[in-house]
């Protein structure tokens, strides 16, 4: 079948919205999803700086949501025709971590999601003149009108929900909220500092506020701090001196949890200095430089850990976040600005310039 998609051909070129060809329909365990919307995540844009590790040309996009229009499985499958689904990251389902309900730490996470996808997908997607496109990105490649997806990546949601806005629940929103709810299990009486008030950081702020956690948010941009404050955090400008002391002042003498979304070593060091004994620093962004720990930094049972995809089992966390949103306690939709898929380059520019927190691309609706 032929449909339109945003193709990234090289690290430097803009996205090109063009017709592409899917040569085979869903095999066993796969579904074809008509995309209603797809969030733009930092990881999509980071491909431009991936030093060639992500194969191009490719169709990116990994926060898709849509309607199942074909299935490779029979009527007994858990996800069927007409179901509304939110798509999340890919995992093998078979390794030790997948079997331990930790699919974000799948042995094959990097290869399945970032660096080439499933081997059997090679050559299934081509451009209009037969040029090969990389296999699926995060198991989906959702900057497109359709996405062919492993059914295990899809989470069914109520058909009454605004489907086109739900895609970010599959990655960025899940990452920030999951760090607070799953990794930290933060609750009333706890304190949290969030470094970076972008899509992931603000999702963490919202989840913390919903859970009664006293939260401080640090960012360089005043307008992002205004948002963090609106969602319940104490705003602290990153630029001022004495950040660790200021964090401690607003977290009852030291934060129990710190979540870094910036990969900025100076900010991370400030957050470490502001942790209380037994406090935990979670890192969701890949560090760009070495982190040098001063002696004694981790004394008092303090710890640092990496957090991928909010430690989430998407089938559990996405419905939980939707429930919080319906109760008015997790207003993630307020971070979204929608763009037609054809305007994807404008969305990227706005995202890079900090003019929008979470762009969501909407494919043009066409009669099938």
- How many CB atoms within 10 Å of residue 269? 17
* Shortest reach from residue 153's CB to Zn ion, in Å: 12
* Shortest reach from residue 284's CB to Zn ion, in Å: 10
Nearer to Zn ion, 94 or 158 (CB): 94
* Shortest reach from residue 98's CB to Zn ion, in Å: 3
Give the C-alpha separation, 204 to 93, whole Å: 27
| 95 touches Zn ion (CB under 5 A) | yes
Helix, strand, or coil (residue 276): strand
| 106 touches Zn ion (CB under 5 A) | yes
Q: Which stretch binds Zn ion (CB under 5 A): 43-51, 65-73, 198-206, 276-284?
A: 43-51
Helix, strand, or coil (residue 222): helix
Residues numbered 122-151 forming contacts with Zn ion, rule: CB under 5 A: none
Greatest pairwise CA separation for the chain in angstroms? 64
Residues numbered 55-84 forming contacts with Zn ion, rule: CB under 5 A: none
Give the C-alpha separation, 58 to 127, whole Å: 10
Q: Which of 31, 43, 205, 282 binds Zn ion (CB under 5 A)?
A: 43
Is the Cβ–Cβ distance between 182 and 316 less than 8 Å?
Answer: no
| 98 touches Zn ion (CB under 5 A) | yes
Nearer to Zn ion, 47 or 192 (CB): 47
| 41 touches Zn ion (CB under 5 A) | yes
| 179 touches Zn ion (CB under 5 A) | no
Q: Which stretch binds Zn ion (CB under 5 A): 53-61, 102-110, 149-157, 218-226?
A: 102-110
Residues 6 or more apart in contact with residue 62 via CB below 8 angstroms: 38, 41, 43, 44, 87, 89, 113, 137, 138, 139, 140, 141, 142, 170, 171
Nearer to Zn ion, 148 or 312 (CB): 312
* Shortest reach from residue 18's CB to Zn ion, in Å: 24
Give the C-alpha separation, 343 to 324, whole Å: 31
Residues 6 or more apart in contact with residue 366 via CB below 8 angstroms: 145
| 92 touches Zn ion (CB under 5 A) | yes
Pairing of the two strands 358-362 and 336-340: parallel
Q: Which of 22, 40, 171, 186 binds Zn ion (CB under 5 A)?
A: 171
Which residues of this chain interact with Zn ion, rule CB under 5 A?
A: 41, 43, 91-92, 95, 98, 106, 171
């Amino acid at each position: 079948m032929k449909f339109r998609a945003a193709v990234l051909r090289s690290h430097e070129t803009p996205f090109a919205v063009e017709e592409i060809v899917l040569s085979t329909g869903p095999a066993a365990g796969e579904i074809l999803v008509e995309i209603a919307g797809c969030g733009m995540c930092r990881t999509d844009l980071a491909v431009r700086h991936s030093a060639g590790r992500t194969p191009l040309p490719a169709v990116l996009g990994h926060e898709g949501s849509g309607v199942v229009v074909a299935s490779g499985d029979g009527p007994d499958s858990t996800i069927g025709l007409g179901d509304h689904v939110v798509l999340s990251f890919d995992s093998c389902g078979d390794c030790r971590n997948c079997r331990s309900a930790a699919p974000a730490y799948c042995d094959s996470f990097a290869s399945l999601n970032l660096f080439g996808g499933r081997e059997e997908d090679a050559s299934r997607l081509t451009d209009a003149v037969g040029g090969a496109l990389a296999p699926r990105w995060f198991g989906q490649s959702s900057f497109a009108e359709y996405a062919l997806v492993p059914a295990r990546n899809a989470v069914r949601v109520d058909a009454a929900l605004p489907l086109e806005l739900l895609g970010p629940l599959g990655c960025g929103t899940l990452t920030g909220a999951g760090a607070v709810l799953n990794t930290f299990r933060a609750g009333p009486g706890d304190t949290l500092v969030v470094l970076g008030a972008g899509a992931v950081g603000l999702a963490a702020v919202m989840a913390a506020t919903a859970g009664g956690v006293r939260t401080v948010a640090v960012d360089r941009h005043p307008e992002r701090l205004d948002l963090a404050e609106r969602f319940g955090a104490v705003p602290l400008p990153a630029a001022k001196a004495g950040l660790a002391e200021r964090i401690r002042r607003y977290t009852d003498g030291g934060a129990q949890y710190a979540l870094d979304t910036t990969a900025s070593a100076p900010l991370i060091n400030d957050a470490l200095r502001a942790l209380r004994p037994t406090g935990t620093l979670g890192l969701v962004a890949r560090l760009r430089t070495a982190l040098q720990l001063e002696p004694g930094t981790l004394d008092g049972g303090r710890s640092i850990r990496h957090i991928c995809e909010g430690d989430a089992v998407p089938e559990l966390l996405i419905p939980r976040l939707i429930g919080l949103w319906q109760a008015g306690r997790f207003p993630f939709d307020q971070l979204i600005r929608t763009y037609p898929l054809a305007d994807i380059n404008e969305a990227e520019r706005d995202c890079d310039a900090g003019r929008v927190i979470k762009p969501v691309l909407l494919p043009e609706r066409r009669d099938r």
